[in-house]
């Protein structure tokens, strides 16, 4: 059981994913409340994981030592928090998988809503994402979330893929289609004043690296822009881009986006 007070953060998390997937796996663990799902397309599967840490949730209790995820329709969950409960001071209780329902009790009314888990196969992390903790990333870029969203939106109008390249103190976003080529280059900036932190670009380069991403996947990741002022891009060579948003100090949203092999055939 956990208490969302206020529950506005939970509503924003639901808003970030309700338009890109129907079913989300909820899992109350000792670490916190996880929400996970896969977004599949012709270019591969993007793995999305969101976490609200137990340390920052009131009255948090997990009765299960073993993960017991439940598959829920995220739009149904969102509609509950998009109703008349303006303060969203709710208590969420995740029952056992054998009970198979998620209960919402709101303090500002006598409302008690039970949602049954949808039938779905167990969700597992795709093989390409399982060992990231043991792999060395080649570059990490922290930048304003709105800036990243605008770059993805503009370049996405030109072609279906965007190449992200990091070298020394520079990150370049590049796309091209026939005779049209467009790029946005961001340089490392220094933080002179603490109030400018959310406007700066910080680049950590271990080795030069380039990844090509599906624009649909990039736009998917920008759905979480309202959750954070900044976003962090971590590049694993030839494998994956991890787009992460820190939700204040209470959790995170991570989007694992697969690298695309560029088509070198001449048209």
Asked if residue 100 and residue 7 are part of one domain, the reply reads yes
Please name which of 218, 229, 169, 160 lies closest in space to residue 194, comparing C-alpha atoms. Answer: 229
What is the band of 266 on the pLDDT scale with cuts at 50, 70, 90? very low
Asked if residue 66 and residue 51 are part of one domain, the reply reads yes
Domain count, the chain: 2
Which H helix or E strand runs over 123? none
**Domain annotation covers residue 265:** no
Distance, in Å, from the CA atom of 224 to the CA atom of 20, rounded to the nearest integer, reads 11
Domain boundary among 73, 89, 124: 124
Domain boundary among 92, 107, 124: 124
Asked if residue 157 and residue 41 are part of one domain, the reply reads no
- pLDDT computed for residue 135 by the predictor: 86
What is the band of 81 on the pLDDT scale with cuts at 50, 70, 90? low
Instruction: Indicate which CATH number applies to the domain containing 38.
Output: 3.10.150.10
Determine the 3-state secondary structure of 20 from DSSP: coil
Distance, in Å, from the CA atom of 75 to the CA atom of 18, rounded to the nearest integer, reads 6
pLDDT tens sequence across 111-161? 555 565 555 566 777 777 877 878 899 999 999 999 999 999 999 999 999
Residue 67 has pLDDT above 80, yes or no: no
The single-letter DSSP state of residue 6 is S
24-29 average pLDDT score: 80
Asked if residue 137 and residue 118 are part of one domain, the reply reads no
Owning domain of residue 189: 128-258
Rounded to a whole number of angstroms, the distance between the first and last alpha carbons of the chain is: 57
Asked if residue 23 and residue 71 are part of one domain, the reply reads yes
4-8, 45-49, 235-239: lowest mean pLDDT where?
Answer: 4-8
**Domain annotation covers residue 36:** yes
- pLDDT computed for residue 264 by the predictor: 46
The single-letter DSSP state of residue 75 is H
Which position has the higher pLDDT, 80 or 208?
208
- For the entire predicted model, the pTM comes to 0.83
- pLDDT computed for residue 96 by the predictor: 39
The pLDDT mean for the chain works out to 79
Sign of the CA dihedral running 118, 122, 126, 131: positive
- pLDDT computed for residue 234 by the predictor: 97
Asked if residue 216 and residue 169 are part of one domain, the reply reads yes
């Amino acid at each position: 059981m956990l208490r969302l007070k206020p529950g506005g953060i939970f509503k924003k998390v639901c808003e970030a994913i309700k338009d890109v997937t129907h079913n989300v796996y909820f899992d109350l663990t000792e670490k916190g409340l996880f929400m996970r799902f896969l977004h599949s397309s012709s270019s591969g599967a993007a793995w999305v994981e969101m976490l609200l840490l137990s340390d920052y949730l009131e009255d948090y209790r997990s009765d299960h030592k073993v993960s017991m995820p439940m598959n829920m329709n995220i739009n149904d969950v969102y509609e509950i928090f998009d109703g008349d409960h303006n303060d969203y001071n709710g208590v969420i209780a995740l029952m056992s998988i054998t009970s198979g329902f998620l209960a919402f009790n709101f303090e500002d009314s006598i409302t008690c809503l039970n949602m049954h888990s949808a039938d779905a196969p167990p969700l597992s992390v795709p093989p390409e994402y399982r060992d990231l903790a043991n792999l060395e990333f080649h570059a990490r870029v922290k930048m304003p979330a709105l800036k990243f969203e605008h770059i993805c939106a503009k370049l996405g109008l030109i072609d279906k893929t965007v190449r992200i390249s990091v070298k020394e103190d520079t990150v370049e976003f590049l796309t091209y289609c026939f005779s049209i080529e467009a790029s946005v280059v961001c340089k490392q900036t220094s933080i002179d004043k603490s109030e400018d932190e959310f406007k700066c670009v910080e680049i950590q380069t271990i080795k030069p690296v380039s990844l090509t991403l599906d624009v649909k996947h990039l736009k998917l990741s920008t759905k979480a822009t309202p959750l954070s002022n900044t976003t962090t891009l971590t590049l694993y060579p030839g494998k994956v881009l991890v787009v992460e948003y820190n939700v204040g100090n209470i959790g995170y949203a991570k989007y694992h986006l697969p690298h695309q092999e560029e088509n070198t055939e001449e048209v």
